[in-house]
């Protein structure tokens, strides 16, 4: 199954900032988004539920890796919906 990826305004802003400051990281983000679109369980994404957050309507929130084994590695935060076969990415941020 292939999902349609939707970015919130915040995620779009995050993506624009990455594009402006680090084009190499931008390629990694695009790769992770492509994997997320086609295979939510791709091993390199390390997708898992993020317990401390909920989506706007109580949806489960998931974290997927853009990078690993890197200081301040970037992550995608997303939830299913609101439409069927849609994933909403609401943040693209470095790991604290």
Checking phi first, is residue 85 left (phi over 0); if not, alpha (psi -120 to 50) or beta? Answer: left
Give the model confidence (pLDDT) of 3-31 as tens digits. Answer: 999 999 999 999 999 999 999 999 999 99
Give CA–CA dist 37/8, Å, rounded: 16
Question: Mean pLDDT lowest for which of 31-35, 59-63, 69-73?
Answer: 69-73
For 58, counting Cβ atoms within 10 Å of its Cβ (0-12 exposed, 13-18 middle, 19+ buried), the class is exposed
Q: What is the rounded average pLDDT of the residues 80-84?
A: 93
The model's pTM is 0.93
Percent of the chain with pLDDT over 70: 99
User: What average pLDDT is seen over the chain?
Assistant: 94
């Amino acid at each position: 199954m292939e999902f349609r990826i939707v970015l919130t305004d915040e995620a779009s802003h995050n993506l624009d900032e990455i594009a402006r400051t680090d084009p190499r990281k931008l390629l990694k983000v695009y790769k992770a988004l492509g994997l997320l679109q086609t295979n939510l369980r791709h091993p390199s994404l390390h997708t898992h539920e993020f317990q401390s957050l909920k989506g706007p309507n109580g949806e489960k929130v998931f974290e997927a890796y853009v990078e690993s084994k890197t200081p301040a590695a970037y992550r995608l935060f997303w939830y299913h919906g609101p439409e069927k076969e849609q994933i909403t990415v609401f943040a693209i941020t470095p790991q604290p």
